[in-house]
Amino acid sequence: MTHVSVRRGLLYVSIAATAWGTGGAAGALLRLSGGLDPVSISFWRFAAGAATLLPILRLLGRDRNRDQGRDQIRDRIRSRSRSRSRSRDRGARRYGRIAATGVAMAVCQTAYFAAVASTGLAVATVVTIGATPVFVAAAARLLLGERLGVAGLGSAVVALAGLVMLVLDGGPAAFSVAGTGWALLSAAAYAAVTLLNRAFSAEPYAATFGGFAVGGLCLLPLALYGGLLPAGDPLVFWAAVAYLGVVPTALAYVLFFTGLGSVRATTASVISLVEPVGAAALGILVFGERFTAQGVAGAALLLAAVALLALRERRESAPVTG
């Protein structure tokens, strides 16, 4: 994995969460301009993200091969059979992780849209995004030995309270058992993506590209069934696909996976809660939506909690001097 400082890792995760917040607006534009269902939009998101990363990945691969060519030849001469065995083992683990990431991405997207259809956008968003840090914290404690601590736990609880205030700003919403179950499945799948790419070393570009490719293949049958090609203005549609693939998909996931190299999985999942704040701000600026006092308070509470958690992460990672 590309190693960065904790400060830069926190910045990368924050930028990724902000970029994800613009994905909803781009998806809405795709739905309005192309008449596609959410699964088809997710397929185009993965496909465009993979197409964006492919030339970058090939360029990085050529540079890496040129720099490491002599070392690889020397290693093969010294221990050819042992080198091949280790290479096969590393390759199997790498491809297995990428495949699992792609399947988890596809499950996350599909289950979330099923939750929206069953219980509405607000409840689906609160349960999915809100449950993710809980799943990540529990699994990271058991599998990775990460401890959130009392201060971190308090920040997470405050952030979740702010999320509920922000997303349920329109008033009470009806809960559905089936919808809540789909939302929890989506949260579990997203938690799996976070933990997989925190626990194992991998190049963020390769992991992201592989996840998109596998996820797109998983969604392709459902997308073909629902209708894959747009029915409206093709220029608007493909412009929206290009934006969705580049900014809230390729860029955001590469930054998120890179940030996971230095930021704890639980911290990254809590910082990701700022995604609805970006979506709400975009709704105000672009679509003329209004913020109530409850929404403003929820956004402020959420951002304050995330900022405190980020400061705690930096302070605990700072080297002790003296």
pLDDT tens digit sequence for 29-59: 888 878 888 889 899 999 999 999 999 888 8
Domain count for the chain: 1
Q: Is residue 302 situated within a structural domain?
A: yes
CA distance 197 to 216: 19
**How much is the pLDDT for 318?**
56
**Which two three-digit tokens encode residue 110?**
């599909």
Q: Regarding predicted confidence, which is higher, 211 or 289? A: 211
**Which two three-digit tokens encode residue 319?**
């080297």
**How much is the pLDDT for 322?**
44
At position 75, the amino acid (one-letter code) is: D
Q: Is residue 322 situated within a structural domain?
A: no
Q: What percent of the chain has pLDDT over 70?
A: 78
Q: Is residue 1 situated within a structural domain?
A: no
Q: Is residue 320 situated within a structural domain?
A: no
Residues 155/309, Cβ–Cβ less than 8 Å: yes
Residue 16 — very low, low, confident or very high, per pLDDT cuts 50/70/90?
very high
**How much is the pLDDT for 202?**
60
Quickly list DSSP for 201-228: ---HHHHHHHHHHHHHHHHHHHHHHH--
**How much is the pLDDT for 123?**
73
Full residue range of the structural domain in which residue 217 is found: 6-315
Q: What is the DSSP letter of 231?
A: S
At position 32, the amino acid (one-letter code) is: L
